[in-house]
Structure 1
Amino acid sequence: MIYIVGIGPGSRDYVTKKAFDTVETSDFVLGSKRSLEIFEINGEKIELSVNLKNELYEFLKNYKNSDSKKKVSILSTGDPCFSGLLKTILSFDFVKKEDFEVFPGISSVQMAASKAKISWEDYNILTLHGKEENLKKLLNYVKNGEKVIFLPNNLKNDLKFLIENGISDEKEITVLENLSYSNERIITDKISNLLENDYSYLLVCIIN
């Protein structure tokens, strides 16, 4: 059986007991280096690189062809069902929904909302990860004065796109970086000032 396991924003404190129990009893555990470091792993550990889509494809193809009954856990940062690995795995033509189970995790959007103390049901939610077309949606939301929570692709480039398309660089945005880690940082500032900083790729942004 294949399990897609949501592991929360990054800290062990936000990983569910279900996730720990599933990974502990798995024969294979696949994930990024930082994901694997969260767990005590008894089975075979497989570290995924930047080519994770191809690596997952090859592993799962071989697994399916072998008709294996071994237990596989695939670690997905945050929640697999939002900007996570569920969509990637569903894109594989040989994978059927009955082949796997999904265990949700705490998403970065949930974590950001809790830190900002906002009700995220009032916000439009967007991911820009690999979705350049969503930049136009973000622009339209901002132009219409709507509230948005978004996961940037490259924050500086995304902010420059907004400015180049008529958004004032005086517009304030809250940037939440490295949520749940010891180096967590939360900044609320004008776009012009935000462009002067450097950021990790673990970001959530809020526009009110």
Structure 2
Amino acid sequence: MTKHRLFLIGMGPGTAEWMTLAAWNRITKVSYIFASERLKDMLVNELAERLAFDHSQYQWRIFDGKLTAMVEPLLADLQKGDTAVLCTGDTGIFSIASWLSKVIAERSPNQQIEWLPGISSLQYFTSRLQRKWNDLNILSLHGREPADLERIFKQGDSLALFTDPLHSPRWIAEALVQYGRGDDLMSCGFRLSYDDEEIVTGTVKDFLSGPIEEQRLCLVIVEATELVESTNKNRVNKQIFLNENADLNIPAATTIAENNYTIHLGAGFAGGLPDEAFVRGKRPMTKSVIRSRLVSLLNLTGKDCVWDIGAGTGSCSVEIALLSQRGGHVFAIEVEPEGVQLIQQNGKKFGVNNLTVVDGEAPEIFAGLPLPDRAFIGGSGGRLEDILRYLTDGWHQLNRTTGKLFPRIVVSGVTLETPYQAIKLLQKYHFAVTDIEQIQVNSYRNLGRVHMPKAENPIWLIAADWRDDTENMI
């Protein structure tokens, strides 16, 4: 055993103030110091001003290139005196300490080696975000192949990602969006602990564009939000129990369970299933709060024939179908192939047998369908007037043979022009507009000890009753 010791010292996330006292004590007792140029500058420039640190009494060995080049000089110095190798962050997380210990032990089996932990950039970053870090899936992207990352990104875990020049925040965002995680919360930490430290937080989608410099190394934390898609067995089993007192003929035993998400549908289900409960893919989806208001505005009886025009993922169709168990039926009309598939998947997942998916473009695909008692137009493809004309012509003819009809319709939109256009057309085709609402919901996500807001786009809902040959007033 050599009489001289090797100290592998974690130096913290960046500046000298985050170096531990133990690290300082060891450094002052060695003869040789191996360090990067940055870590040497930190000691020489920062500590010299604060402490009596005479850097000239040490033999400095600078390594900024291949690590293998430092092995022989290190072994030689250990024959002469105690030696320290300064490591960025903590010795236990993506550090040279593990590799170097193995190499030195192979070359000099009797060499005394001591690790001194430091504050890692991950510890520092999570403390700045005021969140724990023991639930994170931690990995370095350096040298990773896309196939390796696909499995990790798909799992739905909360992630801590150490970037490299090839895997920038924008690259990470593009990959996460591809796997349906565009709404997850993402935080990027640049130059952590320095005076020009920068921490940027937003949704994953926010990082698809913007002023962030792509070549800067950083630490990225992604907060998992899609509990339904997660296969992480350590997640809390989230259960939703819905009121079972009302009489809507939904079997009390109806249960949807997927991974660690369980929903018990009681007889009093009144809409507003959690967004995470639906298979979504890459399609936009009407959010839970909006769906709750939508089914209220439709004034469902449980026996209605309902058209969901531009059904998207089918989230509204499913909720309406669950509320139409007294003989009602929902026709989910969708032209996009991905949407058609998602509606089928969600219908199957919730076990609704009164939902029919209609694959085609409105209004041409309407031929052959029974006229609706209620209609929700979530997407018209720019053909709102054609849709309203078809409905009112059909209702007018049916009304002449069967008596008074009282159909009701709800139109949704996100643009400022939608309510103006919708109201004019509804009035033109003999609708009495009863409700004009703009709804914006701000939800908050837990981020450690704080809650971060996540604003949703405002949504217009315009509800109207059709009255044959009546004048309409707002």
Q: TM-score, normalised by structure 2?
A: 0.39
Partners in 2 of 1:46 and 1:145 — Cα distance? 44
1:128 aligned partner, one-letter code: L
Say whether 1:126 aligns with 2:130. Answer: no
Q: Given the alignment, which residue of 124, 138, 151 partners 2:162? A: 151
Partners in 2 of 1:97 and 1:174 — Cα distance? 44
Q: How far 1:153 moved relative to its partner?
A: 1.9
Partners in 1 of 2:191 and 2:86 — Cα distance? 18
Q: Give yes or no for contact 2:77–2:83 (8 Å, CA) kept in 1.
A: no
Q: How far 1:85 moved relative to its partner?
A: 1.4
Q: Secondary structure at the match of 2:157?
A: coil
| Structure with the larger RCO, 1 or 2 (CA within 8 Å, 6+ apart) | 1
Aligned length: 202
Q: Given the alignment, which residue of 121, 143, 151 partners 1:140? A: 151
User: Which residue in the other structure is 1:33 paired with?
Assistant: 37
Q: Given the alignment, which residue of 41, 52, 55 partners 2:69? A: 55
Residue correspondence of structure 1 range 2-151 to structure 2 within 5 A: 2-39=6-43, 40=53, 41=55, 42-51=57-66, 53-63=67-77, 68-92=79-103, 93-96=106-109, 98-130=111-143, 132-133=144-145, 136-151=147-162
Q: How far 1:139 moved relative to its partner?
A: 3.4
Q: Give yes or no for contact 1:9–1:77 (8 Å, CA) kept in 2.
A: yes
Q: How far 1:50 moved relative to its partner?
A: 2.3
Q: Secondary structure at the match of 1:13?
A: helix
Q: Deviations over 1:54-94 (max 9, x none)?
A: 23222124345xxx140111000001121111122034231
Q: Secondary structure at the match of 1:106?
A: coil
Q: Deviations over 1:141-175 (max 9, x none)?
A: 33232111111123327427716954565654210
Residue correspondence of structure 1 range 169-188 to structure 2 within 5 A: 171-188=184-201
Q: Which protein has the larger Cα radius of gyration, Structure 1 or Structure 2?
A: 2
1:175 aligned partner, one-letter code: C
Q: Percent identity?
A: 22
Partners in 2 of 1:201 and 1:7 — Cα distance? 21
Q: Deviations over 1:10-40 (max 9, x none)?
A: 1111101111121122111111111112223
Q: How far 1:191 moved relative to its partner?
A: 4.2
Consecutive unaligned residues of structure 1, counting only runs of 5 or more, are none
User: Which residue in the other structure is 2:220 paired with?
Assistant: 205
Query: RMSD in angstroms over aligned alpha carbons?
Result: 2.6
Q: Secondary structure at the match of 2:42?
A: coil
Consecutive unaligned residues of structure 2, counting only runs of 5 or more, are 44-52, 224-474
Q: TM-score, normalised by structure 1?
A: 0.84
Partners in 1 of 2:189 and 2:12 — Cα distance? 15
Mean alpha-carbon deviation: is it higher for 31-40 or for 110-119? 31-40
Q: Give yes or no for contact 1:141–1:147 (8 Å, CA) kept in 2.
A: no
Partners in 1 of 2:65 and 2:99 — Cα distance? 14
Q: How far 1:183 moved relative to its partner?
A: 1.0
Q: Deviations over 1:71-118 (max 9, x none)?
A: 111000001121111122034231448531111100111111101111
Q: How far 1:127 moved relative to its partner?
A: 1.6
Q: Secondary structure at the match of 1:73?
A: strand
Q: Secondary structure at the match of 1:83?
A: coil
1:62 aligned partner, one-letter code: A
1:58 aligned partner, one-letter code: E
| Cα distance change, pair 139–176 in 1 and its aligned pair in 2 (3 A) | farther
